[in-house]
Amino acid sequence: MENILIEKHENIAVITINRPTKLNALNKATIQELHDGFKALNEDKSVKAIIVTGSGEKAFVAGADISEFAHFSVEEGGKLAALGQELLFDFVQNLSTPVIAAVNGFALGGGLELAMSCHFRVASDNAKMGLPEVTLGVIPGYGGTQRLAQLVGKGRAMEMIMTAGMIDAETAKNYGLVNHVVPQVELLEFAKGIASKITKNSSVAIAKAIQAVNANYIDGVNGYQVEIENFGACFGTEDFKEGTTAFLEKRKAEFPGK
């Protein structure tokens, strides 16, 4: 792969978007590579958590590659958004393996949309986040109008989108857009520390929890009913037997891979 790097250590994988001369901007090739990378890691039974970050200290992802769509027609623009959402942004949100965004530097436009599609986010203290698409005469097209409002509330999302302004890491934390803010040099290790805690738990149960939480945001789906069904399904798993047995035997559970 030309645009991303993948490293695995024990049960944790790190995907690094590696286009430093373009501030890791998302082009079609990078979106496809990210899809392929996430898909492969999700199918890898040894990987129990994934971290995605950007190369260098300046940017997580500074946006989409505008040169690729500057001359698109209405039809081409719609297809660009639909394909991108299917291949990457919706795909990551619904991945059964937990995905943490380690946001270093700028996360703008498609970069913030990628971070928001992850299951949660941690940021470096120099991070800047925003959706500046209206300055180009377009709107966020990779789920940004939906996920930002879900995470920070309608009013704040409207203001961020309409003003095209950037917010700093502490503001993003106050808004609920990121969970933690740490110094740049500590970001990846901090994210790995959270990922390590995740890997000690049942991957089967975590996948069911991701599905249930996401169900609350799907029109026409009763999230409470999905929770009931997924709760019940857990009782038929080897992880449930191991977890409850370990509890009763007063030992730590040893869960298998996915």
Domain residue limits, the chain: 4-199, 203-248
- Rounded (5°) CA angle 12-14-18: 170
Q: What is each CA distance from 144 to 45, 77, 208, in whole angstroms?
A: 31, 15, 25
- The CATH number for 4-199, chosen from 3.90.226.10, 3.55.40.20, 1.20.1070.10, 3.40.470.10, is 3.90.226.10
**pTM of the predicted model as reported, rounded to 2 decimal places:** 0.96
Angle, CA 212 vertex, CA 92 and CA 238 arms, to 5°: 95
pLDDT on residue 67: 87
Distance, in Å, from the CA atom of 3 to the CA atom of 19, rounded to the nearest integer, reads 6
What rounded mean pLDDT belongs to the chain?
96
Mean pLDDT, to the nearest integer, of 196-223?
96
pLDDT band at 256 (very low <50, low <70, confident <90, very high): confident
Name the β-bridge partners of 6. 15
Which pLDDT does position 120 carry in this prediction? 98
pLDDT band (50, 70, 90) for residue 258: confident
Cα 236 from Cα 234, distance rounded (Å): 5
pLDDT tens digits for range 132-150: 999 999 999 999 999 999 9
List all residues 6 or more positions away from 130 whose beta carbon is below 8 Å from its beta carbon: 108, 109, 112, 160, 164, 165, 166, 167
Cα 131 from Cα 162, distance rounded (Å) = 9
Fold of 203-248: Lyase 2-enoyl-coa Hydratase; Chain  A, domain 2 (1.10.12)
Tokens 């040894």 -> residue:
46
Element (H, E) at 37: helix 28-43
Q: Which residues are catalytic?
A: 113, 133
Question: 72-102: buried (b, 16+ CB within 10 Å) or exposed (e) per residue?
Answer: eeeeeeeebbeebbebbbebbbebebbbbbb
Residues 155-166: tens digit of each pLDDT: 999 999 999 999
Name the token pair of 135: 């300055």
- Cα(107)–Cα(122) distance, rounded to whole angstroms? 12
